[in-house]
């Protein structure tokens, strides 16, 4: 039947004849062909029943594995310290603490002494301010021992007599030597005795101060 006649019949209400059902062809292995997907193993079911967990850290871990350190032989216990060792350690600790305290006390005293010296020098500077009697034209060297060395101050003839008579004295101030009256010298000694460089006792024997004679010759190799 041609397609035109078929289309006309369908248009008049006739129904098309049903197609014959196609029989399933037998498989070559003799088994009937089933629906797609039948007879195939399902995904995820091919693991053996005895397979272990696949979580990280558990693969291959023996059943008897324990915490770190387990199974190691225990170390021997330390021998207890004797009473003699304990007493010796205490003695060392006491001595170390005592030495530390002594060092701290010595440092404290040193700082305190330095503070007192600073205060005393400040008072001395205020006391002898503008009270020096040094003559810029003096040409007579008066020697005297001070600080383990031989020092000198230049005076005139009149000042030399007054100095040897104890009417004048010499003070050390910031590396300089000042000629002052006996009264100022006594006041300065009360404030800062280390500053007194020369104090002559008029009642002392004449040979007690060999440097009183201006003709006294000082050796050339003497450290000034």
Per-residue pLDDT tens digits for 186-202? 999 999 999 999 999 88
> What's the pLDDT at 203?
80
Q: Which residues of the chain have pLDDT under 70?
A: 1-6, 8-77, 206-208, 210, 213-224
pLDDT at 20: 61
Encoding tokens for residue 114?
Answer: 């330095």
pLDDT on residue 204: 77
Categorise residue 42: left if φ over 0, alpha if ψ from -120 to 50, beta otherwise. beta
Q: Which residues pair with 151 in a beta bridge?
A: 144
| CB atoms near residue 168 (< 10 Å) | 24
Considering Cα of 131, then 137, then 143, then 147, what sign does the dihedral take? positive
pLDDT for res 87 = 85
Token pair 């300065």 in the structure block, residue: 188
């Amino acid at each position: 039947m041609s397609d035109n006649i078929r289309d006309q019949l369908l248009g008049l209400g006739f129904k098309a004849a049903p197609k014959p059902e196609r029989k399933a062809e037998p498989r070559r292995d003799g088994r009937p062909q089933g629906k797609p997907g039948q007879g195939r193993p399902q995904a995820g079911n091919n693991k053996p029943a005895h397979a272990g967990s696949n979580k990280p850290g558990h693969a291959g871990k023996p059943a008897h594995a324990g915490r770190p350190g387990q199974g190691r032989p225990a170390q021997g216990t330390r021998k207890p310290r004797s009473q003699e060792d304990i007493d010796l350690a205490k003695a060392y600790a006491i001595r170390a603490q005592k030495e530390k305290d002594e060092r701290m006390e010595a440092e404290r005293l040193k700082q305190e002494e330095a503070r007192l010296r600073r205060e005393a020098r400040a008072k001395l500077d205020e006391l002898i301010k503008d009270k020096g009697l040094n003559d810029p034209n003096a040409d007579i060297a008066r020697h005297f021992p001070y600080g383990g060395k031989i020092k000198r101050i230049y005076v005139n003839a009149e000042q030399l007599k007054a100095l040897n008579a104890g009417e004048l004295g010499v003070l050390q101030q910031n590396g300089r030597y000042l000629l002052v009256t006996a009264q100022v010298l006594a006041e300065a000694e009360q404030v800062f005795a280390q500053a007194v460089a020369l104090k002559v006792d008029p009642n002392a024997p004449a040979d007690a101060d060999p440097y009183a004679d201006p003709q006294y010759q000082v050796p050339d190799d003497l450290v000034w």
